[in-house]
Chain A
Amino acid sequence: DAGVIQSPRHEVTEMGQEVTLRCKPISGHNSLFWYRQTMMRGLELLIYFNNNVPIDDSGMPEDRFSAKMPNASFSTLKIQPSEPRDSAVYFCASSFAGIEQPQHFGDGTRLSIL
């Protein structure tokens, strides 16, 4: 079974540039989550979708961050403009909501903003 697929695995870009992270959830899962992991703050939820609809975006740091889920098999997290403090590992996870199932994570995108 294919797991959660994220791209790119690594991204290095300069401050001010637009960054787009991509995620393909596990087929059949109807909830999708974006997390950010740093040494200081650990793993933090940014936003999650249920049936392609954003449900909780309270973790999104500021207006520079936006996320979309145009269909059940694809989501993007965009940062514009990027800043050095956005450097972190970003994870996407998916699950089947409505029954008690765990979230399954991708291997993340390591983002470095210079």
Chain B
Amino acid sequence: EDQVTQSPEALRLQEGESSSLNCSYTVSGLRGLFWYRQDPGKGPEFLFTLYSAGEEKEKERLKATLTKKESFLHITAPKPEDSATYLCAVRSQGGSEKLVFGKGTKLTVNP
């Protein structure tokens, strides 16, 4: 059974204080690892897809990386508007479109 574990559950940073969020996964053949951002009262918003170990994607202050067992979401010089819950999900090989999500990391960036 595919599993996704995210850590930490919550993270508080000062504006400008860089850090990383972790997503560990077990899956029978990875067909995509997805990062989403979720704001309160909203649905998850797609950020990145990673497909193979060594791959990296960047968007503004965010950079996602992937190894064979985990993914990191690096946040460089965060701003208060980066405060949100960040969700990681995996899709395994085979014909299914099913995503298995982690429980997320709630990030708070204080000004």
Contact surface of A with B, Cβ cutoff 8 Å: 4, 31, 33, 42-45, 48, 50, 55-56, 91, 93, 95, 97, 100, 102-108
Contact surface of B with A, Cβ cutoff 8 Å: 31-32, 34, 36, 41-46, 49, 51, 87, 89, 96-104
Identify B98's interface contact among A4, A45, A105, CB under 8 A: A45
Identify A107's interface contact among B31, B42, B97, B102, CB under 8 A: B42
Identify B46's interface contact among A43, A102, A107, CB under 8 A: A102
Number of A-B contacts (CB under 8 A): 50
Q: Which 9 A-B pairs have the closest CB atoms?
A: A105-B43, A42-B103, A102-B46, A43-B101, A105-B44, A107-B43, A106-B43, A107-B42, A31-B97
Of the A-B pairs whose beta carbons lie under 8 Å apart in the complex, a sample of 28, sorted by A's number, is A4-B43, A31-B97, A42-B101, A42-B103, A42-B104, A43-B44, A44-B101, A45-B99, A48-B97, A48-B98, A50-B97, A55-B96, A55-B97, A56-B96, A56-B98, A93-B43, A100-B31, A100-B32, A100-B49, A100-B51, A103-B34, A103-B46, A103-B97, A103-B99, A104-B46, A105-B36, A105-B44, A107-B42
Contact in complex: A102, B97 (CB < 8 Å): no
Shortest Cβ distance from residue B104 to the other chain A in the assembled complex, whole angstroms? 7
With A102-B34, A105-B45 already in contact, 20 other A-B pairs whose C-beta atoms are closer than 8 Å: A33-B97, A33-B99, A42-B101, A42-B103, A48-B97, A48-B98, A55-B97, A56-B96, A56-B98, A91-B44, A97-B97, A100-B31, A100-B49, A103-B99, A104-B46, A105-B36, A105-B44, A106-B43, A107-B43, A108-B43
Shortest Cβ distance from residue B87 to the other chain A in the assembled complex, whole angstroms? 7
Nearest-neighbor residue (CB-CB) of A48 within chain B: B97
Contact in complex: B43, A95 (CB < 8 Å): no
Contact in complex: B43, A91 (CB < 8 Å): yes
A-side contacts of B46, CB under 8 Å: 102-104
Identify B87's interface contact among A43, A44, A100, A106, CB under 8 A: A43
B-side contacts of A104, CB under 8 Å: 46
Nearest-neighbor residue (CB-CB) of B32 within chain A: A100
B-side contacts of A50, CB under 8 Å: 97
In the assembly, what is the distance between CA of A88 and CA of B36, in Å?
20
